[in-house]
Amino acid sequence: MTTATPLETELLRLAGSVPDPELPVLTLQELGVVRAVHLRGADAVDVELTPTYTGCPAVEAMSQDIERVLREHGLREVTVRTVLAPAWSTDDISDEGRRKLREFGIAPPRVRDGSGQRDGSGQVALELGPTRTLSPDPVGAAAPVPCPHCGAAETELLSRFSSTACKALRRCLSCREPFDHFKEV
């Protein structure tokens, strides 16, 4: 593995500054999907982009926005490659991204205790939890999904899919407000 040059680091920052087309409150860097930038000559670059899931419809828009931003900064040729390994995980969302999701009214994915981390193959374990997440949790149950509006831990699952496949629709049992939850992957 080679170390990125200062120019590649700057181009990675520029590519990462592009807003996510489905969650414009987040940049692609905060979402953790822009993996690397590699220069090819003086004015050509390859960008590695990992979708949040295979078949994500936002990849095309992300790629076009990255190409536009880098061309605006003087690059003649920009190639965005979809890279599936290692797979993207919600662990790749930055702390700043999690904060922004919460402030936007979307419950960020829960932080894992280490048991759901990637194994040596790059695969991510997936656990399906109960529909209601009440405090205190039963032994072995998933951590509660706190309401991004009032902070209460008592929430219920209304639908496993919300406005995008990456999110579930939940409702707070305290303030009764519905909210999206960015699902853990």
Domain count, the chain: 2
Higher model confidence: residue 111 or residue 46? 46
Q: Which run of H or of E encompasses 38?
A: strand 34-39
Residues 27 and 67 in one domain: yes
pLDDT tens profile 12-29: 999 999 999 999 999 999
The pLDDT assigned to 42 comes to 85
Q: How far apart are CA 111 and CA 104, in angstroms?
A: 18
The pLDDT assigned to 136 comes to 42
Contacts of 156 (CB under 8 A, 6+ apart): 131, 132, 133, 170, 171, 173
The pLDDT assigned to 2 comes to 72
DSSP-assigned letter for residue 82: E
Q: Is the pLDDT of residue 164 over 70?
A: yes
**Of the candidates 82, 114, 143, which is a domain's last residue?**
82
**Of the candidates 82, 113, 134, which is a domain's last residue?**
82
Q: Is residue 97 part of a domain?
A: no
Q: What is the biggest distance separating any 2 CA atoms in the chain, rounded to whole angstroms? A: 58
Residues 113 and 180 in one domain: yes
Q: Is residue 173 part of a domain?
A: yes
Mean pLDDT calculated for residue range 63-88: 96
The answer to whether 171 touches 177, Cβ cutoff 8 Å, is: yes
Residues 76 and 125 in one domain: no
Residues 115 and 178 in one domain: yes
Looking at residue 23, which CATH number applies to its domain?
A: 3.30.300.130
Residues 64 and 128 in one domain: no
Residues 47 and 121 in one domain: no
* Mean pLDDT value across the chain: 87
Q: Give the other-Cβ count within 10 Å of 122's Cβ.
A: 11
pLDDT tens profile 119-151: 555 555 555 555 555 444 444 456 889 999 999
Residues 111 and 77 in one domain: no
The pLDDT assigned to 48 comes to 97
Residues 116 and 167 in one domain: yes
Q: Is residue 91 part of a domain?
A: no
Q: Is residue 99 part of a domain?
A: no
| pLDDT-based confidence at residue 65 (cuts at 50, 70, 90) | very high
The answer to whether 175 touches 150, Cβ cutoff 8 Å, is: yes
Global pTM value: 0.80
Domain coverage including residue 121: 104-185
